Structure 1
Amino acid sequence: MPHSFGLRARTRYLFSRGFKQHGLLKTTTFLRTFKLGDYVDVKATGNVHKGMPHKFYHGRTGRVWNVTPRSVGVIINKRVGPRIIAKKIHVRIEHVKPSNSMAAHLKRIEENKKVVADAKKNNTWVSTRRTPAAPKAGFFVNPRDTEVQTIAPLRYELLL
């Protein structure tokens, strides 16, 4: 059991920068604009100590609820016992990046809108639900047309 229980205890490798990632941050980090309702990934950047999130929130995805000059407020769900509590935290923009978690969902919504619009034009109905992949179609193997192959493992030989 460890002897230290500080705010950043046991984060030696969690907050460390990657190979060839040390030094100044890229300018794009500071030029990004975050709007209310955006989904963001909280990823602590080790060389910026100010506004760093607690290690629990590292790698979590949340929704922006507040924007300040140098930070964003993020709502993140946290499991506490049997409950899931929406926690509000403020994190500097160096520790936040836009999330791609909703990209596939938004793409599917756009495709569904197009499909429904085409169906309305043709006066038909179409299902927008996702369906699981169907099993492969069955077929018969004709034994006269195929050759039977006997497969066996290779014999062990000592190679010295």
Structure 2
Amino acid sequence: MGKTRVISKGYRHGTRDKYSKKYRTKGRPGLARYLVNFKRGDYVDIVADPSIQKGLPYSFYHGRTGIVFNVNRNALGVEMTKIVGNRQLRKRIHVRIEHVRKSRCNESFLHRVKENDKKNLGFAWFCLRKQQAKKEGKSIVCKRIPEGPKEMKTVTASQDDVEVLAPLPFVENYF
């Protein structure tokens, strides 16, 4: 009778590296992790903390970014897309706060929105600016414009600067 191989099918199987914590970050999370305020519509990154077993998301969701759709006392409802075969499914999971951090994926967009509000006519809200500009017969361009190709240059060289390189003739050195 041969030996049978045991294949692990547990909730944390195959996560030795994925759930390992970095040097000097082992142990329980600090208080700051619990004091973050989350609101519906926030972008969050799911980063599983292996030192907290409660509310741990399945390993597939580790490192994914989603949007908060529900806020509970200890947990957040996070919605994200998952590609299954040839289609995208919207998945909704509840994850405890220890396994979630605010995402920085939206920062540049929000910064650009604030800059656009300050730009041009200086009204507080974008809608008011648009309306005011329309009355005055102006148009506000808030789109990012690509840099485009560089300007053309002509390089000139004098005869002294030009050095013609030619290959050396092959010399056979048989002894």
- TM-score normalized by structure 2? 0.76
1:133 — aligned with what? 147
Q: Relative to structure 2, which stretch is displaced further, 38-47 or 123-132?
A: 123-132
Tell me the alpha carbon deviations over residues 56-107 of structure 1, each in whole angstroms, 9 at most, x when there is no partner.
1110111111111111111111111222111111111100000111111111
Larger Rg: 2
Q: Structure 1: how far apart are the matches of 2:156 and 2:7?
A: 71
Tell me the alpha carbon deviations over residues 20-42 of structure 1, each in whole angstroms, 9 at most, x when there is no partner.
11123111001111111111100
2:37 — aligned with what? 33
Residue 64 (structure 2) aligned to one of 48, 55, 60? 60
Residue 20 (structure 2) aligned to one of 16, 19, 22? 16
User: For residues 145 and 28 of structure 1, do their structure 2 counterparts lie closer, same or farther at Cα, with a shift above 3 Å needed?
Assistant: farther
Map 1:67-146 → 2, pairs under 5 A: 67-118=71-122, 120=133, 124-144=138-158
2:126 — aligned with what? none
Matched AA of 1:111: E
Tell me how far 1:148 sits from its aligned partner: 4.0
Q: Structure 2: how far apart are the matches of 1:97 and 1:43?
A: 7
Structure 1 segments unaligned to the other structure (5+ residues) = 152-160
- TM-score normalized by structure 1? 0.83
Structure 2 segments unaligned to the other structure (5+ residues) = 1-5, 123-128, 166-175
Output the aligned Cα RMSD.
Answer: 2.5
Q: Relative to structure 2, which stretch is displaced further, 55-64 or 117-126?
A: 117-126
Tell me the SS of whatever aligns to 2:69: strand
Tell me the SS of whatever aligns to 2:44: strand
2:170 — aligned with what? none
User: For residues 150 and 32 of structure 1, do their structure 2 counterparts lie closer, same or farther at Cα, with a shift above 3 Å needed?
Assistant: farther
